[in-house]
Structure 1
Amino acid sequence: MSTPQHTSRYRDQVLTRGKIESLIAEGRKVVIVDGVVLKVDAWLPYHPGGDKAILHMIGRDATNEVKAFHAVETQHFMQKYRIGKIEGEWKDFVPPIQDGKFRTKEEQRSGNRGQDKEAVCELDSSRHSSSEEPSPLFEPADRGTSSLRQRRTSEDAASESSATSLDTLAIGEPATSSKKAAPGGDRTQQELQRDLETFPSLDPATQADIIAKYNALDDRLRAEGLYDCDYWAYGREISRYVLLGSLAYFFLQKGWYIPSAIFLGMMWHQLVFTVHDAGHMGITHNFHIDSLIGMVIADYIGGLSCCWWKRNHNVHHIVTNSAEHDPDIQHMPFFAISHRFFDSLRSTYYDRIMTFDPAAKVLLKYQHYLYYPILCFGRFNLYVLSWQYIFLGQGPRKGPAWWHRYFEMAGQIFFWYWFGYLTVYKSIPTGWDRFLFVLISHAVTMPVHAQITLSHFAMSTVDLGVAESFPQRMLRTTMDVDCPEWLDFFHGGLQFQAIHHLFPRMPRHNLRKAQGAVKEFCEDVGIPYAIWTFSKGSEMVIRQLEDVANQARVLSECQRSMTLKDMLEGH
């Protein structure tokens, strides 16, 4: 792959905020990392983690995200795309994929000419600067939060301007975008106010302090060896996998199809955890080796695409619990964990409208009853998503991961040969037994779906905008599950989802060891650390689903009443 066409004399030039804004307005993909400006357009089709993860970082300081998800070698490789540097503190833009608006150089000039000089001076004095003073169009969340906190105890906190700022914060859009007519607007404001009062201030100084202490914690955990893989732990897990697979095969040969299906499902359930580590490069820390491990297990043994999961999961980690952007909470028409899904939001991941259609209006009213039954069928949905990713060519076809698509295609053929043909069709004589075998083996994997949703469904879905730091967002939107250490094998170590979101490349066997230090960090910076037992967390999820279901029921009744009223008035 060719080196970007920027000569060394340009790599150290100081780029103003206006220059970076104009580049993004022209469609360039510009990211800030450690004070360095990277133009990564050429890397998008090569990125093994998909383009969406990068697109959510455009115009932002992505230092924490880049360091959390990439090896040091990869971070050095990124310097190939360096086009300059910034000076001073950088204030994030809202990325284009999140509806951020940017001006070209000509638009900036014309806008500046049209401003009143005194108004400009007053505006400039009220802002923190980066390379150049920011435009009011690009930082609604940060500006709205600052004014909100100043007015929180004043009598006019519920004024028109406050409401606009609240809506702006909740959806990450400019304050000029009115959301007053949206269903549940008051509820959105209440949830936003709750988070603003519960979590640390979004002012730059507070968030910078959180980031500094988070980086210090990361250095401490590295020094303690918690990023080193415990290969003996994988030895124990491999023994467990072999035992479960052998029992499934033994009972299949005996004609005991239900026990065989149960043990096969248990093996699939356990294998997911190793695939997860491989997807995060957390086993050998070598891209090609870990990718190979993940694809062999996921595709050849489990029938699922490891590369699809990686693309999906990276976005989930960056925009956790965002209704518009996080694919892990976008399950319409079956589930909605926020009333905001009633707005028929557009998913930036799937590039489609999540329609609040007649099916959703019916299913969402009963989602708290349907939660566990639907999760039993979750693996079938993962098959479809995997096939779409592999056979529609959604992954990179160039760069270091170019061969992954073809290797996964072969894995799908292999899986459906041994499972679909040799196991289900050839080894099981009757249609009814085949049906039960497939259904039970897939339903047994339900706990892993329940565990992942448990860690997020009951947590905040409010978007506090680009002013919120990476560690605060991860802890605000993610819950850990408390359980005795001997039960870690069942949860795979991923019951520590909040810790995992803070340190995604840390091997999951070490997450429990990091828990004490994370608790200390949370106490120090004033961020609540959410941890509940599996039963309590499940109760919270069901309660959240029931709450949204009740809102859906009320909304449907209101719409029905309005329709009936219009019909009567028409006559």
Structure 2
Amino acid sequence: MNPSITATKPGAPRERQVSEFTALSRTVQDAGLMRRRHGYYWTRFVVLTALLGGLVSAVVLIGDSWWQLAVAAGFALVFGQVMFLGHDAAHRQIFASGKWNDWSSLVLANLYSGMSYGWWNHKHSRHHAKPNQVGYDPDINADVILFHTETLEAPRKGFPGWFAKRQGWLFFPLLLLEGINLHASGVKTVFGRGEVKRRPVEIAFVTLRLGGYLGLVFWFLPLGMAFAFLGVQLGLFGLYMGAVFAPNHKGMPIVPPNSKIDFLSRQVLMSRNVHGGRFTDWFMGGLNYQVEHHLFPSMARPHLRRVQPIVKEFCAARGIPYTETSLMASYGIVVRYLNKVGLAARDPFQCPLTAEYRSAR
């Protein structure tokens, strides 16, 4: 056990945790785990660019054939990997220069994937600041799916009540629409009236990407096949994104809006890791190390696997619950949790979800 991260400092519990996390950060720095990995990221960028070029060529060469739906599935997978790379750039993992990271994210999100970097970055930054806290984390705001009942003013009845009761089972099928939602939210933001940094660049990149992509599909494919192509690509892309992001926090404790909690406890207690080896690392874009990513958001993706044992030892030494499970088990947790919330939405007094947070403390 590394003595540099186990010494307990005097003072109040929160002060000790801050001091101890500083020691953990120093240990991570000394191990070289915060250094850049330019070769890794440039290789991924070149490979993904080549794959997208190959898929575009496939659309042109295959022509009028239902094999195009396999190409659409390939686009969904590659666009997902592109977004993981854009996520890394947005967290300043790739370059030391903030400007280089910003432009990388703009190219990857807007030009390659047709979504708004500005919209996503604003939303994601709020999530990282206070994950699973009601009123602060936009990822748990009530929408079609209820993630908590903290702000529910009245029971859901009729069809909304019927849906809420089954929302856990319906969650993953609904993700087939998430691809459309992600694109629509980005377009609404960049063409809206709100503040958007580099708005002209975002508009130009999104317009070029969406216009060029739709032109490619509708020019080389018959009308019905073109719509089927877009349905498969957008549906699988949304399902892929949701299947990767849902296990990270859904089903973890919900933090009431007025609660104060230190950085260390907030990031560890509200996050769930997913184990499963190298394939899981690739499939989830490194986000299976969610605890480590939230503690060190600017850490290069390849180092997350290496820092995990250090973080687990750190948490174990201090009795901080560290949650980790398999991918399939995490999906079961998400479904059961959402059904539980849905039942509470029909009778808000039936299921006090905040007890989960209090017990986690």
- TM-score, length-scaled by structure 1: 0.56
- The change in CA–CA distance for 1:359 and 1:501 in structure 2 (over 3 A counts) is farther
Cα shift readout 1:213-266 (whole Å, capped 9, x = no counterpart): 111111111222211121222244235414532442243121232011011111
| 2:176 aligns with one of 372, 376, 386 | 376
| Aligned-partner SS, 2:297 | coil
Give the match for residue 343 of structure 2. Answer: 550
Question: Which whole-Å CA distance do the structure 1 matches of 2:86 and 2:159 have between them?
Answer: 34
Contact 2:157/2:346 (8 A) holds in 1: no
| 2:301 paired with 1:508 | yes
Structure 2, gaps ≥5 residues long: 1-10, 351-361
Give the match for residue 357 of structure 2. Answer: none
Give the match for residue 18 of structure 2. Answer: 211
| Aligned-partner SS, 1:376 | helix
| 2:231 paired with 1:439 | yes
Question: Which whole-Å CA distance do the structure 1 matches of 2:160 and 2:217 have between them?
Answer: 34
| Aligned-partner SS, 1:342 | coil
- The change in CA–CA distance for 1:240 and 1:362 in structure 2 (over 3 A counts) is farther
- The change in CA–CA distance for 1:218 and 1:392 in structure 2 (over 3 A counts) is same
Question: Which whole-Å CA distance do the structure 1 matches of 2:288 and 2:125 have between them?
Answer: 18
Give the match for residue 485 of structure 1. Answer: 278
> Displacement of 1:466 after TM fit?
5.2
| Aligned-partner SS, 1:495 | coil
Cα shift readout 1:116-175 (whole Å, capped 9, x = no counterpart): xxxxxxxxxxxxxxxxxxxxxxxxxxxxxxxxxxxxxxxxxxxxxxxxxxxxxxxxxxxx
| 2:31 paired with 1:220 | no
Contact 1:456/1:479 (8 A) holds in 2: yes
Give the match for residue 299 of structure 1. Answer: 110
| 2:124 paired with 1:313 | yes
Kindly provide the amino acid, as one letter, of the partner of residue 551 in structure 1: A
| Aligned-partner SS, 2:80 | helix
Question: Which whole-Å CA distance do the structure 2 matches of 1:410 and 1:356 have between them?
Answer: 42
Cα shift readout 1:451-484 (whole Å, capped 9, x = no counterpart): 2121111100033855421110111111111111
Cα shift readout 1:467-506 (whole Å, capped 9, x = no counterpart): 4211101111111111112442111111111111111111
1:454-469 alignment to 2 at 5 Å?
Answer: 454-463=247-256, 465=258, 467-469=260-262
Number of residue pairs matched?
A: 335
Question: Which whole-Å CA distance do the structure 1 matches of 2:135 and 2:246 have between them?
Answer: 17
Greater length-normalized contact order (CA 8 Å, ≥ 6 residues apart): 2
Give the match for residue 316 of structure 2. Answer: 523
Give the match for residue 93 of structure 2. Answer: 282
Cα shift readout 1:243-299 (whole Å, capped 9, x = no counterpart): 532442243121232011011111101001111011111111211111111001111
Kindly provide the amino acid, as one letter, of the partner of residue 343 in structure 1: E
> Displacement of 1:359 after TM fit?
6.0
- The change in CA–CA distance for 1:278 and 1:357 in structure 2 (over 3 A counts) is farther
Kindly provide the amino acid, as one letter, of the partner of residue 444 in structure 1: L
Question: Which whole-Å CA distance do the structure 2 matches of 1:517 and 1:393 have between them?
Answer: 45
Question: Which whole-Å CA distance do the structure 1 matches of 2:349 and 2:209 have between them?
Answer: 44
Give the match for residue 388 of structure 1. Answer: 188
Question: Which whole-Å CA distance do the structure 2 matches of 1:371 and 1:316 have between them?
Answer: 20
Question: Which whole-Å CA distance do the structure 1 matches of 2:31 and 2:195 have between them?
Answer: 36
> Displacement of 1:362 after TM fit?
3.9
| 1:405 aligns with one of 192, 199, 219 | 199
| 2:149 paired with 1:339 | yes
Contact 2:52/2:75 (8 A) holds in 1: yes
Contact 1:307/1:395 (8 A) holds in 2: no
- The change in CA–CA distance for 1:380 and 1:486 in structure 2 (over 3 A counts) is closer
Structure 1, gaps ≥5 residues long: 1-203, 345-354, 558-571
> Displacement of 1:209 after TM fit?
0.9
Q: CA RMSD in A?
A: 2.3
Q: Over alpha carbons, which structure has the higher Rg?
A: 1
| 1:241 aligns with one of 41, 48, 58 | 48
| 2:216 aligns with one of 423, 446, 454 | 423
1:65-84 alignment to 2 at 5 Å?
Answer: none
Question: Which whole-Å CA distance do the structure 1 matches of 2:246 and 2:128 have between them?
Answer: 14
Question: Which whole-Å CA distance do the structure 2 matches of 1:217 and 1:518 have between them?
Answer: 8
| 1:414 aligns with one of 201, 208, 228 | 208
- The change in CA–CA distance for 1:383 and 1:357 in structure 2 (over 3 A counts) is farther
